[in-house]
Structures are given as structure tokens and as C-alpha cells.
Amino acid sequence: MLNYPHIDPVIFRLGPLAVRWYGLMYIVGFLAVHMLVGYQTRKYKLTRLAEHYEDLNFFLILSLILGARLGYILFYNLSYYLGHPLEIIAVWQGGLSFHGALLGMLIGGWLFCRKHQLNFLATTDVYVVAIPIGLGLGRLGNFINGELFGRVSEVPWAMVFPAGGPMPRHPSQLYECFLEGILLFTLLWTLRIFHYRRGWPAGTLIATFLVGYGALRILVEQFREPDVQVGFLFNLLTMGQLLSGLMVAAGLLIFFRSRSKPAAV
């Protein structure tokens, strides 16, 4: 068993303001996506996207936050918030969903692309290769916070989390950091080269992301403790596995429907 490294979630305080590692991870993730999208627009001369990507970035951040909060409420704790509606806006208390964030960004991105006459699938291909960086950093923030830990385990690297009781557990946040962050980013950033060199159809990279993330999340959910208020669905699946299965199905659908379409923004 390994000792859990007790890291203060708060980096420093300025009066009532507390700067936390988790918030910093979000900021760094946003900056990384902004930088890598800008790099691609310049390298591949995506002039139409370059004209709008600053505004699109801002719109996507708002869509992400709104989708993450509403996704958590709808997917994970609807009954509680129906009884406590004023707490819906209390984002600072925690409660965000990746699947909700993704859905929010896809809807927001589609609306933006429709308004500005951008190819939606091609635009998502540009953004999606950078998203795993934010995912990996977010999971690292979860680990520092000691939240979203894994199931009880006897593996040598199991840890006792402060909020997880006395039993050692899988550090599933680190599994996700590696698989959904480092591994998925490496795959997509590499495939990006072939995508533009060989003129793969628009939607190829977003489809790969949906299938790749969905499959990896389904795997990691086998080691992650289910949300206590949800538990197992049908005594078989976690909510994360169900939503990730839908991601895989959507990714396969996009891939087969977009094979004959050009990769242009």
C-alpha cells in the first residue's frame, strides 16, 4: 500500500479568496486548448476558423461550464436539486459532469458554427485533439482533492483516501489521468498529422475521441467507486459506463456517416 500524498488543495489565500489546484488545472487546460487550436489554424492554414476561434473559445468555455453543471444535476443528482433548486447555481460546492460538459460544448459549438457558416465536424476535429490535456489535468486535480477515488483494493499501489474510509482504494484518478489524458492526447495528436496529410474525412478525429474516451472510461469505471447517490444501474453498470457507451455509439455513427465528406474548415 502507498501513502496518499496529502497536498493542500488550496495553493494560497488572498483574504477570502482561495486559489485552488483544481481551479488552476482548469485554467491551464483552457490555455493549452487555446494554444494548440491556434497552432493548428496557423500550421494547416485554417483561415475560416482562424477568423472566429477566439470568440468560439469563449463561447465553448461558457458552454462547458453550463453543460458540466446541468449534466451533473440531470445525470447524477436530479432528485436532490429538485428539492433544493437554489443550490443549482452553487458550482463552488462541486458537482460537475464531463459528459454534460462535452454535450454542452457540442451543442454550443454546433450553434456557433451554424451561425458563422463553419464546418462543424471539421471544427471539432481541430479542438478535440487538445481536450485530453484538460481531462488529464482535471483528474490530477481530483486526486489532489482526494475525490472520485477508486474501489477498495489490495493492489500494492492502493491508497487510503481521507474521505474514503479506512480501507485502501485504487487511485483511479491517476488511471484516468494517464489513459484519458496522456494516452488519448498522444493518440489524437499523432493521428492529426495523418488526418491533414491524407485528407481524412471531417469528423474522423472527433469520432476517434468519442470512441477512445468512451472505451477508456468504461474500463476505468471498473476500478472507480460509483457515485453513492446513484450506485449501479440495473445492478450492472455505473452511470459513467452508460454515458460512455453512448459516446462510443455516437463516435461510430459519426465515423461511418462522415467517411465520404472532405476535411475542410
User: Considering the chain, what is the average pLDDT of its residues?
Assistant: 92
Cell 460538459 belongs to residue: 101
User: How is residue 240 written as a grid cell?
Assistant: 459513467
Residues in the chain: 265
Rounded CA-CA distance 140/124 in Å is 25
pLDDT score recorded for residue 262: 52
Domain annotation covers residue 265: no
> What does the pLDDT look like over 72-112, one tens digit per residue?
999 998 888 888 888 888 776 778 899 999 999 999 999 99
Domain annotation covers residue 4: no
Helix and strand numbers (H, E) in the chain are 11, 2
Domain annotation covers residue 78: yes
Rounded CA-CA distance 161/6 in Å is 9
Mean pLDDT on 162-176: 95
What does pTM read for this prediction?
0.93
Domain annotation covers residue 1: no
Domain annotation covers residue 241: yes
Rounded CA-CA distance 17/27 in Å is 16
Asked if pLDDT for residue 263 goes beyond 60, the answer is no
pLDDT score recorded for residue 202: 93
Asked if pLDDT for residue 203 goes beyond 80, the answer is yes
Element (H, E) at 231: none
pLDDT score recorded for residue 213: 98
Q: Is 200 helix (H, G, I), strand (E, B) or coil?
A: coil
Give the single-character DSSP code of 263: -
Say which residue, 108 or 234, is predicted with more confidence: 108
* Cβ–Cβ under 8 Å, residues 263 and 195: yes
Mean pLDDT on 133-155: 95
pLDDT score recorded for residue 260: 59
> What does the pLDDT look like over 240-255, one tens digit per residue?
999 999 999 999 999 9
pLDDT score recorded for residue 261: 59
User: How is residue 126 written as a grid cell?
Assistant: 481541430
Task: Give the domain range for residue 227.
Answer: 10-257
Asked if pLDDT for residue 227 goes beyond 90, the answer is no
Report the chain's terminal Cα–Cα distance, integer Å.
Answer: 50
Asked if pLDDT for residue 61 goes beyond 90, the answer is yes
pLDDT score recorded for residue 228: 84
* Cβ–Cβ under 8 Å, residues 81 and 121: no
Which of these, 140, 224, 212, lies nearest to 178 by C-alpha position?
Answer: 140
pLDDT score recorded for residue 223: 97
Asked if pLDDT for residue 265 goes beyond 70, the answer is no
* Cβ–Cβ under 8 Å, residues 244 and 218: yes
Domain annotation covers residue 2: no
Asked if pLDDT for residue 131 goes beyond 90, the answer is yes
User: How is residue 136 written as a grid cell?
Assistant: 488529464
Amino acid letter, 7: I
Domain annotation covers residue 140: yes
**Number of domains within the chain:** 1
Q: How confident is the model at residue 187 (pLDDT cuts 50, 70, 90)?
A: very high
Domain annotation covers residue 264: no
pLDDT score recorded for residue 96: 87
CA atoms within a 13 Å half-sphere pointing along the CA-CB vector of 121: 23
